[in-house]
């Protein structure tokens, strides 16, 4: 995955826009940030997930997703290693991040329940946990 591919995927979310913030491009819907590119450096992106979503993607793909250090990470901010990321799982994780901040009416019009489940491997992890 390249930074440009990350950018294209983020901008493919309904009504997403790119804005600069603190020297990094970020991606917003309804004026709220759901993803950032180039933090902490050009090899990474960051998604605004819930702590539960973060736990699932970290368990499913630990080489791709990493909790951001500090308080942001404890609240779900999740770094994405671009080099390791695959389109399918990043698209699903971006959809989760988008859904987390999108206005409810917009999300209801555009949200695909398939992408709501997150990456396939994250779904398997969550399913195994509920079966125990």
pLDDT at 104 over 70: yes
CA angle 96, 99, 104 (to 5 degrees): 160
Q: Assess contact for 35 and 27: CB atoms under 8 A.
A: yes
Residue 71 confidence (pLDDT):
96
pTM here is 0.81
Residue boundaries of the structural domains of the chain = 3-131
Pick the CATH number of 3-131 from 3.40.50.1100, 3.50.30.30, 3.90.1150.30, 3.30.565.10: 3.90.1150.30
Say which residue the tokens 């992106």 belong to: 45
Which residues have CB under 8 Å from 88's CB, separation 6+? 119, 120
Residue 31 region by backbone torsions, left for phi larger than 0, else alpha for psi between -120 and 50, else beta:
left
Mean pLDDT of the chain: 87
**Residue 44 β-bridge partners:** 81
């Amino acid at each position: 995955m390249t930074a440009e591919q990350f950018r294209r995927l983020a901008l493919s979310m309904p009504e997403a826009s790119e804005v600069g913030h603190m020297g990094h491009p970020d991606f917003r819907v309804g004026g709220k940030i759901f993803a950032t590119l180039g933090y902490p450096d050009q090899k990474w992106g960051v998604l605004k997930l819930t702590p539960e979503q973060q736990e699932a993607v970290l368990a499913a793909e630990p080489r791709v997703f990493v909790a951001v250090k500090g308080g942001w990470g404890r609240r779900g901010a999740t770094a994405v290693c671009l080099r390791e990321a695959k389109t399918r799982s990043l698209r699903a994780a971006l959809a989760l991040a988008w859904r987390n901040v999108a206005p409810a009416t917009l999300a209801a019009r555009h949200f695909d329940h398939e992408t709501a489940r997150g990456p396939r491997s994250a779904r398997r992890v969550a399913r195994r946990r509920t079966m125990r």
